[in-house]
Each structure stands twice: as C-alpha cells, then as structure tokens.
Structure 1
Amino acid sequence: MTVTSVKCRKATEHDIETLYEIIQGYAEQGIMLPRSRETLAEQIDTFVVAVIEDRLVGCGSLTRLGQDLVEIRSLGVTHGHKGQGIGNALVEFLVEEARRQGIPKVMALTYAVNFFERNGFNVVEKEIFPEKVWRDCVHCKKQHCCDEIAVLKRVD
C-alpha cells in the first residue's frame, strides 16, 4: 500500500481501544509514555489517526504547551504498516493542524531523529522548552537521564 491510500482524520471515542493498543505496544518497549484509556478519552480531541480501508494503522497527538508551541506526542504506527509513509502523513497532518491553529512552533521528543529531520524538523536543545520541562519532564522517571532528542519545526 502506498501513502496515497492513507487517510488521516481526527480521532473519535470509537478509536480509544486501538489507540490504547498502539501506544501500549510502544510503551512496553520503553519508547513512548503509556496512556490510560481514561486519559485517551479525556484527550481524544488532541489525537489524530491514520486509516487504511477503515482500519486504524497509526496515531499521534498535538498537545499545546504554550501560546506559540505544540508538541507532537504518541506518534506510532502499527507493526505491519511501518515504512509505508504513514508516520509522514500523520506528522504532515499534525503540522497542518498547528498551522491552522496559528501556532508557529511544533516540537517533539524522540528517538527517531532521522524521521523527524526528513519531515523538516531540526535538532535543538531540550532546555529551550521550559514549558515541556515543567509540565511533563518533572514527572518522568527519566527526568535526570533523559535520552530523547528534542526536535523543532517552525510553521510560520
């Protein structure tokens, strides 16, 4: 399948179980923070999904960290669909959503630096995002030994 067969859309409550399964799979590998079903239900309006032939094959969310900054979170693709451009389609959809909302900066913390660089992001120092550090990092078990890389894309 090609990326043209992928459709991205806003997530709905009907997507929660599949979102949970995708995110949990990555969380079990230690490369994504887990999200409970309750949290997903509360934050469903921040999530988008990628669908191929009515089957949910990927997800991501866009979380506002400040007036001019959002973070791409929980970006994942189901095991059998990696390498087909689905992640690229999700990032493009999320960046367009940030642009639509008038938010000029999109960031992510990632292990997939090359992927984000191919999508127009640049590596930056995490410390330039105090909004992220004080909101989320202070609660993370990797706070003092974080090995994720910060990336940033300006969309203005």
Structure 2
Amino acid sequence: MAVTCRKATKQDIDTLYDIIQGYAEQGIMLPRSRETLAEQIDTFVVAVIEDRLVGCGSLTRLGQDLVEIRSLGVTDGYKGQGIGKAVVSFLIEEARRQEIPKVMALTYEVGFFERNGFTVVQKEIFPEKVWTDCIHCKKQHCCDEIAVLKRID
C-alpha cells in the first residue's frame, strides 16, 4: 500500500477532527475544534492510502526561522507503516520550501522524531512557543512533553 501526502482541504475536516480527537481523549494531543481546523486548514497535510485519509499533521509558524509540527497522528490500524514518517517528511519539505531553517515539535514519541533526524533540546529555547501556546495549556507548570528540533539549513 502506497501512502501519498497532500495538502488538506475543507473536505478533510471531519476526518482530521476524528484523528486528533482520538489522541486528545488519551491526553497526548491538544484538541482542535472543527472551526479551528477550518481556519487553519492551509497548515495541514494529510496522508492517504487508497483514497482513505489515514494520517495528518500541521506546520505552524512560530517565528521568522522556526516552525512547529503539530497534530501529528495516524489512524488506528495504520500505525507502524511509515505514515507518520511520510507526513513529517512532507512537512519538512514544506518548511524547506518556505526557507524556514528550524523545525520543532513537542512530543511523547521521542524515538520516532530521533529516527527522523530530530534531536532532543530544552523547551526553554523556544520562547515563541512558550508565550504563544504553553501559557494557555493546562499542563503549563507540569509539562511532560519533550522538545525536539531539526535544522534544515
């Protein structure tokens, strides 16, 4: 089965919502409303196998030289098949196309990101993230996510 990645469209919103909500219910991803997904649809990428949307991720600009991979998820039954890797590769190419040299993520899946060329770093080196998103998070003072960074310059 070949996986294809493409930019998300408004028709993908319900499936994106379902994937993200599944992770959010486990407490490992921030939830996104359908309205937020519609507003930010141009930042999302989807992975498709045989016309079925099986994965997603987004790329959010945090500064002039920094973007964050967010909402990276794979549908149950499709994990371990290279779909997450394909989405991350697509997002990294998008950052490269936009000439953004640093890609970061906050994750519980450190090994996955390390296998994809990221290194573990201190969260505090990303004040852009802390002051835009973390201040609104309920885990703000007890965050257990790990920051990873990939330089593509």
| TM class, shorter-length | over 0.9
- Structure 2's unaligned 5+ residue stretches are none
Give the deviation of 1:46 after TM superposition.
0.1
Alignment of 1:100-111 (within 5 A): 100-111=97-108
Equivalent residues, number:
153
Which residue type is aligned with residue 107 of structure 1?
Answer: M
CA distance in 2, matches of 1:51, 1:121: 24
Alignment of 1:78-97 (within 5 A): 78-97=75-94
Alignment of 1:139 onto 2:132? no
Alignment of 1:51 onto 2:51? no
Q: Among 4, 7, 10, which residue is 2:7 paired with? A: 10
- Determine what percentage of the aligned residue pairs are the same residue: 87
Q: Among 115, 118, 128, which residue is 2:115 paired with? A: 118
Which residue type is aligned with residue 34 of structure 2?
Answer: R
| RMSD (Å), alpha carbons | 0.3
Q: TM-score, normalised by structure 2?
A: 1.00
Q: Among 28, 32, 41, which residue is 1:31 paired with? A: 28
Give the deviation of 1:144 after TM superposition.
0.2
Q: 4+ residue runs of structure 1 moved beyond 4 angstroms? A: none
Deviations 1:31-84 (A, max 9, x none): 000000000000000000000011000000000000000000000000010000
CA distance in 1, matches of 2:109, 2:92: 17
Q: TM-score, normalised by structure 1?
A: 0.98
- Structure 1's unaligned 5+ residue stretches are none
CA distance in 2, matches of 1:133, 1:36: 21
